[in-house]
Structure 1
Amino acid sequence: MGSDDQVVLRGRDRELTVLRRALADARDGRGGGLVVLGEPGSGRTALLAAARAEADGFAIRSARGVAAERHLRHSGLLQLLPEPADLPADPLALGRAVHAALAAAAPLLCLVDDADLLDPGSRDALAFAARRLSGSGVLVLFAAGSPLDGMPGLWLEPLGAEASAQVLADHGVAEPAPDLLDLASGNPLALTELAAASRIPPQSRLRRAVRDRLAALGPGAREIALMAALDDWLDVDTLVRATERSGVDLRALEEAREAGFVRLDGDHVLATSPLLQALVREDAPLADRRATHTLLLSVLDPRRHRLRCTWHRAALAGSADPKLAGELLESASEFWLAGRPRRARALLRQARPLARDTSLRGVADLLQGSLEMREGMPAVASQTLLVAANQLAGSQRDHALTALMLAGEASCVAGDYVRYYAIADRAQQLRRPDDSPRTRLILDHFAGMSDAFRGRHDRAAAPLRRVVGLGGVLDEPVAKIWASQAAYTLGDAARAHELAVGAVTAAGSRGTTAVVPWALVYVAVSELLLDRHSAALSSALEGLRMARTIGQPNSAVDHLTILALEASLRGDRDTAQARLDAAAHEVATRGLGRPGALSTWASACVDLAEDRPEDALDRFRLMAAGTGRVHPGIRAMATPHFVEAAARCGQHVKAAKALAPYEDWARSTGCDVRMALSHRCRALLGEPDADEHFETAIELHRASQTALELAKTELFYAHRLRRNRKARAARELLRDALKIFQRYDAARWAERTTAELRAAGESVPGCAKPGGLTPQQMQIARLVAEGATNREIAAQLVISHRTVDHHLRNIFARLGIRSRVELAARYR
């Protein structure tokens, strides 16, 4: 909420649209009733207030149900009707009287909050009247926790992560911890109260509401609600055995479900939300909690239910227990790798008080740092992982090296290369002659990437090649990801892609879902290097979807910036900007240097496509040391675009200075793609042998099958040829370039090429589109065929609603169809 005189609702656009439509219908004489439904704290009252703010021209009457007045006949109607003394006793006559009184006051908005706490006579009479207001200018809005018979309902779903973060930011929490968002479960009141105290206060409105609902249940239903709150994996079989042992009637399960404390998911009985689970658990007396843990432990099979038994034993443990702590940490790691971070954190919290041993604390910090790297601030993750490495160095060297490797990765993401080099040097001190293949891979990776980041590519090549070789032998997903990064640095995009896809496959077979978004980063960037834009788009979108699904916001930002780069290389400003905007908040608040550098590169590429080299050059200044967007690898990959911008601005000395280390890198790796770009850069510098450089670049582009970059090189070369009065040769190159740009949906590049063709003396009536769909259009067509709305498509592809509309018009035109129904038929 905002100030007292202005209602600000986050994440409720859909609900506000429904309310505005209902008000508009009532203005037109098509009134009725609507029930705003939701759990306590979901914002029912706030939505009624928003309706009041929108109700210009309406008289407004309000009522609120009060538990203490439920037994007082007509106490609810007394708040709404001006002359309640004449109300009849007969329910049907009462309903008619209420209907007549409301209809006579049109245009009227009635707001009935906590309707389920009204006296039954008032509630039934108001519902009767509301169901018969379709021919009047009256709208009755109820807010309730359960439906009213025969009344349409508007259910308030939990807020999404972005809206939840906005609510917290409104209350002064700019960077919420993942635990905070998990606990709130999208409940607006919980978010507000958590923002003030980082926990739900003991006497908060939300706790009181939940306590009242819980107190209204019978003893058996309360015990079942507590079982679900204390056991995340409660199954029906266990519940049956536990209720038999405790003497609870199993029919109480339905009572707990109807009250909203539990839900059935297959053969499992789960707490409705993490928030209700936490409130029920925390408000239960200690004796009741211990008794329930003991009861569940008594009916579980220690072998079949190892993790659950460990959980309940930990809750009953009164002092440090190294064995129990180890079991909890092992289980927490399994959940983290399986893509279930919330449960991993819950187990980690249970384990920490029991872990007094240094090595156990090191394992806990290793897991904490891994979670923080994907969900929190990489700089904090790096520090936590270094602490873990110190604690593990004496007893668990392999774990210590893993902690160092992840600390290095976190430092890269944060853009802190001073720390990365220090971690790499420290890792080398642990080298031994009898190191395992995995350890050798880690140490060679540190050695090779450190030299590559420092521009010492000749020294980097040998250790990186060893990493690639070891990655092919080891079946561990993370080892394959590190090897893919090494292959990409060496310019072997095909091998990088093979290793990254292998990591995804290995992760799938092992159930280690948590590493898949990370692996898909290297799948996507290697596909971009290979100029496979359609494949890169699909891989990055899948990585984004998975990262969001399993709660890895930092990995989601990685994929958003890769998607932005893909669009920017085609010159699609709107799409690139939409994706950069979606990533911007996280980049800034979490200190994400690597995605920040990618964002800068992407923005500069759009500027270049739109023929604004000065703006591009200004962008590249953000990648200088000290800006927080430093990433030596990304800065190196962006060099051809920097050289293009600098050369076109007449800053040839600066361009040549930047190009020299890039040429060293390209030569050391022998990568055709990078060698082609290197020759193109030499040609753009306007040297006497520029034609030879352009021709060599074109040959290398064709050899590496990088069509989009080939088209750009042809455009640049044609411009030079035209200015040197070689218009015929220029036109041949431009015709080829135009076809490629059209195929890639690179509209701005196609426009520039068309203009150049006209300047070369060729009449070009228009930019004729090829018959097939572009990669992005194919994605949109598939989603339309699956029944997605334009808004849903825009959200899934991270593009603007306007862009979806534009592409749909082109899809219909290219396929010769007129409707979504016809498009869906094409995909059946």
Structure 2
Amino acid sequence: MPFFGRDRETHVAENTIDARSGSACLFVGEPGIGKTRWARQIAARHDTVVVSASPSERMWPYSGLSATAAALGGARGAAIDRLLARGRDWPEHLLAEEISRTLHLVHDEPAVLVIDDLDEMDSGSVTVLSFVFSRLRGTGLTVIATADSDGDRHDFTGMLHTRVQRLSFDESVDLARSVLGPGTAQAVLYTVAEFTGGDPGSIVRVRLTPREAAGDDPLPLPLRVTDDRARRRRDGRLAGDPRVTSLLDLLSVGPVFSFDRLTLIAQEQSVDLDALIDDGLVAVHGEFARIADPARRLRHHASLSADERRRLHAQAAAAHEETHPATFLWHTSFGAPDADREPLLCAAVDLASGGDHLGAIEFAERAMAGDLADDVRCRHLVDLGDALVLQGHDVQGRHYLRRAGRAAEPTLRARRPSRVCVRPRRSSTWSTRPPSPSPWMPTTGAPPSTSCARALSYISGTGRSGAPASSSRRRSSTGSPQPRPLSWCACSTSSDPTPSPRSPSIPVSPRCSPTSRSRSSRQCSN
């Protein structure tokens, strides 16, 4: 598989190696982010080997130090081997001082040593090497090492530390294409890149059928991944507070969760929800919460068994039954495949209009996994495509317009957003602060003419200057915009956008009114 990204980390490593006077750099990143593959690339460039710490050898004293000496070879490796033979019973600080002094006395060619998972070595080797690697100047030995970022350890403070970042969006798309095949639809690649959060360990485990990859069948969201690795790490996932893990498992099975209901559940389980928000594990906006990191959500979901997922869907459905009908229908659809899916498409349109394109895509794909009448499917997919295009997500918007079955009249499509209910935006991101509800306000005026012209140009397949729409896409680098409340997404024959106090499930989007239905039906006829 081709290697993608890591230009910044490679640049730092090459500058460290080019100094040739002797130094050490530690690259720290979360598990599964691609540190091992990157370390092998650096080793291949400099014709050296990678020292990999074996968890099974952690109980052997100085096993990591012995592997380091073997990888060095030459005069340096032989000198360290002689010291180990004489000083295995020495105190760790004395052995570390002798090895450091020996490396400065040995005259050998400059060398590069690459160590993967340095923090996984036995404790004795970690103590000795942390002392030695902080005093390499003048030895001609350059060490490039990787370590996980988990835990509160303070080893290797004398080494230069560099954080290994996740892949950029474009790098994630390229990696997804290499995993899923060159025939994968561009909109599917975008969706995979966004729903994996740039985590290469998650992207390489995504598995789609040929029709799903081509965009002909709905995507399974959360994405389907090979779960062998996730299940092997299940004990690690549960190593923290099991109450926190249980709460994150509940959040992982759905796109959003009512913040009020989540607060009650957290109180029942004695979980400090504010601490999870402050730590960036949970994001909140408006009246909804979700796991902040898409990759973390995917790992939690992949680690759940089928029985656990069914139980959590039932729990989430019960929590939203009376207050959030669209979210309730999302969870019940897994146990009732023949249920009406049109309200889910209505929810997708409203979320896209409010700026939460990830939530909109998740609701739309779930809706299309069931049976929908052709006119219903066409009507709402046209609305969804319009909303995504006007929000700047051109590739995915045009994808849903194509999946509508027949292109609607472009001029009519460009006029339709004037009926969208929008929310005044205070922030374009999901916040880590408790929600402060604000009312939804329907707009009555027509959109600016520039928006209509832009929508028409993208829908017709060209950008502002005639270029393909995909080249003019706009994305937010700060997170997902705020969603509209999903309790307003259930379809109804009422055109009143104000919720009835007697029935919380009847508030509607103007897109689901009888007038818009009949007008859209004429678009999708023939």
Q: TM-score range by the shorter chain?
A: 0.5 to 0.7
In the alignment, what sits opposite 2:358? Answer: 342
Aligned residue among 457, 476, 483 for 1:549: 476
Q: Distance in 2 between matches of 1:375 and 1:74?
A: 55
Contact 1:35 1:153 in 2 (8 A): yes
- Indicate yes or no: 2:165 matched with 1:157: yes
Q: 1:166 and 2:141 equivalent?
A: no
| Structure 1 residues 263 and 138: alpha-carbon distance in aligned structure 2, compared to 1, 3 A threshold | farther
1:48–1:111 contact (8 Å) kept in structure 2: yes
Structure 1 segment 6-17 matched on structure 2, within 5 A: 9-17=3-11
Q: 1:50/1:282 Cα in 2 relative to 1: closer, same or farther (>3 Å)?
A: closer
Structure 1 residue corresponding to 2:42, chosen from 51, 64, 67: 51
For residue 21 of structure 1, what is the amino acid of its counterpart?
A: N
- Which residue does 1:366 correspond to in 2? 382
Once the two structures are superposed, the pairs formed by residues 746-757 of structure 1 within 5 Å of their partners are none
- 2:225–2:302 CA contact under 8 A, matched in 1: no
CA distance in structure 1 between the aligned counterparts of 2:14 and 2:38, rounded to whole angstroms: 11
What is the Cα deviation at residue 226 of structure 1? 1.0
Amino acid at match of 1:289: R
TM-score in terms of structure 2 length? 0.63
Name the structure 1 match of 2:65: 77
Q: Report what 2:281 is aligned to.
A: 263
Higher RCO, 1 vs 2 (CA within 8 Å, ≥6 residues apart): 2
Cα RMSD over matched residues?
4.6
Note closer, same or farther for the CA distance 1:515–1:39 as it changes in structure 2 (3 Å cut): farther
Question: Which residue number corresponds to residue 320 of structure 1?
Answer: 338
Q: Distance in 2 between matches of 1:99 and 1:170?
A: 45
* Displacement of 1:113: 1.1
Cα deviation, residue 77, structure 1: 1.8
In structure 1, the partner of 2:91 is 90
Q: Distance in 1 between matches of 2:197 and 2:385?
A: 23
CA contact (8 A) 1:225 1:271 kept: yes
Distance in 1 of aligned mates of 2:411 and 2:456: 19
CA distance in 2, matches of 1:94, 1:269: 53
The CA distance in 1 between the partners of 2:471 and 2:254, in whole Å, is 31
TM-score by length of structure 1 reads 0.42
Q: Provide the C-alpha distance between the structure 2 equivalents of 1:21 and 1:476, rounded to a whole number of angstroms.
A: 56
- Counterpart AA for 2:364: L
Offset of residue 17 of structure 1: 0.9
Residue 282 of structure 1 corresponds to which residue in structure 2? 302
**1:95 maps to amino acid:** A
User: Out of 181, 193, 207, which is 2:193 matched to?
Assistant: 181
How many residues are paired up?
Answer: 408
Which AA in structure 2 matches 1:55?
H
**Cα offset for 1:61?**
5.8
Mapping 1:671-682, distance limit 5 Å = none
Partner-residue secondary structure (3-state), 1:404: coil
Letter in 2 for 1:202: T
- Determine whether 1:225 maps to 2:285: no
Shift in CA distance, 189/264, structure 1 to aligned 2, threshold 3 Å: closer
Report the Cα offset of residue 280 of structure 1.
1.8
Deviations 1:670-711 (A, max 9, x none): xxxxxxxxxxxxxxxxxxxxxxxxxxxxxxxxxxxxxxxxxx
Task: Quote the Cα distance in structure 2 between the aligned partners of 1:357 and 1:320.
Answer: 13
Q: Which amino acid aligns with 1:22?
A: T
* 1:341 to 1:222, Cα distance in 2 relative to 1, 3 A: same
Letter of the 1:13 partner, please give it. Answer: D
For the residue of structure 2 that corresponds to 1:37, the secondary structure is strand
Q: 1:475 aligns with which of 439, 445, 449?
A: 445
Indicate if the aligned counterparts of 1:114 and 1:142 stay in contact, CA closer than 8 A. yes
How far residue 299 of structure 1 moved from its aligned partner, in angstroms, is 5.3
Q: Which amino acid aligns with 2:199?
A: N
Query: 2-side partners of 1:238 and 1:21: how far apart?
Result: 52
Q: CA deviation at 1:347?
A: 0.8
CA gap 1:142/1:517 in 2 versus in 1, 3 angstroms: farther
Query: SS of 1:143's equivalent?
Result: strand
Aligned to 2:100: 99
Q: CA deviation at 1:187?
A: 2.9
Residues 1:369 and 1:406: Cα distance change in structure 2 (over 3 Å): farther
Give the residue type in structure 2 aligned to 1:47.
W
Partner of 2:237: 214
Q: Verify: 1:202 aligned to 2:202, yes or no.
A: no
Do the aligned residues in 2 keep the contact of 1:386 with 1:404 (CA within 8 Å)?
no
Aligned partner of 1:19 among 13, 17, 20: 13
Distance 1:62 1:351 in 2: 48
- Partner Cα separation in structure 2 for residue 318 and residue 345 of structure 1: 20
Conserved 8 A contact 2:457-2:463? no
Supply the distance in 2 between the matched residues of 1:366 and 1:407 (Cα, whole angstroms): 13
Structure with the higher helix share, 1 or 2: 1
Cα distance, 1:550–1:409 mapped onto 2, change above 3 Å = farther
- Judging changes above 3 Å, is the alpha-carbon distance between structure 1 residues 174 and 407 closer, same or farther for their aligned structure 2 residues? farther
CA contact 1:42–1:187 (8 Å) conserved in 2 = yes
CA drift at 1:204? 5.4
Can you list the C-alpha shifts for 1:505-556, whole angstroms capped at 9, x where unaligned?
Answer: xxxxxxxxx969969x99977xx9xxxxxxxxxxx9xx988723399xxxxx
Letter in 2 for 1:185: G
CA distance in 1, matches of 2:57, 2:374: 59
- Structure-2 separation of matches of 1:286 and 1:195: 17
Could you list the runs of 5+ residues in structure 1 that have no partner in the other structure?
3-8, 388-402, 411-436, 440-472, 481-498, 505-513, 529-539, 552-828
Quick one: structure 1 residues 69 and 217, their matched pair in 2 at CA, closer, same or farther if it must change by over 3 Å?
farther
Provide the C-alpha distance between the structure 2 equivalents of 1:123 and 1:48, rounded to a whole number of angstroms. 19
Once residues 251 and 131 of structure 1 are traced to their aligned partners in structure 2, the CA distance between those partners, rounded to angstroms, is: 40
Q: Does structure 1 retain, via aligned residues, the 8 Å contact 2:207–2:226? A: no
For 1:216 and 1:298, how far apart are their aligned partners in 2? 29
**Mapped contact 1:368–1:384 kept (Cα < 8 A):** no
Q: How far is 1:308 from its partner?
A: 4.2
> What residue in structure 1 maps to residue 127 of structure 2?
124
Matched, 1:384 2:311: no
Deviations along 1:766-812, one digit per CA (max 9) or x if unpaired, are xxxxxxxxxxxxxxxxxxxxxxxxxxxxxxxxxxxxxxxxxxxxxxx
Equivalent-residue separation in structure 1 for 2:102 and 2:325 (angstroms): 64
Does the 8 Å contact 1:500/1:522 carry over to 2? no
Report the Cα offset of residue 360 of structure 1: 3.7
The answer (yes or no) to whether the contact 2:207–2:224 under 8 Å persists in 1 is no
> Superposition pairs for residues 375-524 of structure 1, below 5 Å?
375=395, 383-387=402-406, 404-406=408-410, 475-477=445-447, 499-500=449-450
Q: Is the 8 A contact 2:255 2:362 kept in 1?
A: no
Aligned counterpart, 1:672: none
Separation in 2 of the partners of 1:132 and 1:120?
A: 19
